[in-house]
Amino acid sequence: MTKKSNPVVYFEIPVNDIDRAINFYKAVFNFEFDKENIDNNDMALFPFFNQYSGISGALAKGEIYKPTKEGVLIYFHTENMDDTLKLAISNGAQMLYPKTDNGIGLVAEFEDTEGNRIALYQSKE
């Protein structure tokens, strides 16, 4: 019997400066990172807790990792869209798409310090 799961299990956000990226995501989301070197690439692993739903990933620096605004869009959950956007902008992000109610929840997008397009999601509940 095949075990059913959601299709996405892990992500990597390309970075040019791993320490700058760690500082940005820690300042904006209060994340703690574990630094690793995997296949000659510098990685900073986002927190992962088995007891919670959802996936985790890493900030990734290496020859094959190129930050971009044109690639896959990752949504980070936030409890307070306004506060998170203020933290992102004050820590070097550029606003790409302002807070908008899409009918399901609130969404917004910014460019992080590495040049990636990152989205935020806040539920209406």
Q: Which sequence spans correspond to the domains of the chain?
A: 10-123
Using the predicted structure, report yes or no on whether residue 1 has a pLDDT greater than 70. no
Those residues with Cβ within 8 angstroms of residue 83's Cβ, 6 or more apart along the chain or in another chain: none
Q: How confident is the model at residue 115 (pLDDT cuts 50, 70, 90)?
A: very high
Whole-prediction pTM? 0.92
76-88 burial by CB neighbour count: b if 16+ within 10 A, else e? Answer: eebeebeebbebb
Cα–Cα distance measured from residue 23 to residue 18, given in angstroms and rounded to the nearest whole number: 9
* 10-123 classified as CATH 3.10.180.10: yes
Residue range 53-90, pLDDT digits in tens: 889 999 999 999 999 999 999 999 999 999 999 999 99
Cα–Cα distance measured from residue 6 to residue 20, given in angstroms and rounded to the nearest whole number: 31
Q: How confident is the model at residue 5 (pLDDT cuts 50, 70, 90)?
A: confident
Residue range 34-45, pLDDT digits in tens: 999 999 999 999
Instruction: Count the neighbouring beta carbons within 10 Å of the beta carbon of residue 52.
Output: 8
Q: Which of 31-40, 44-53, 59-68, 99-108 has the lowest mean pLDDT?
A: 44-53
Q: How confident is the model at residue 4 (pLDDT cuts 50, 70, 90)?
A: confident
Contact predicate 99/81, CB 8 Å: yes
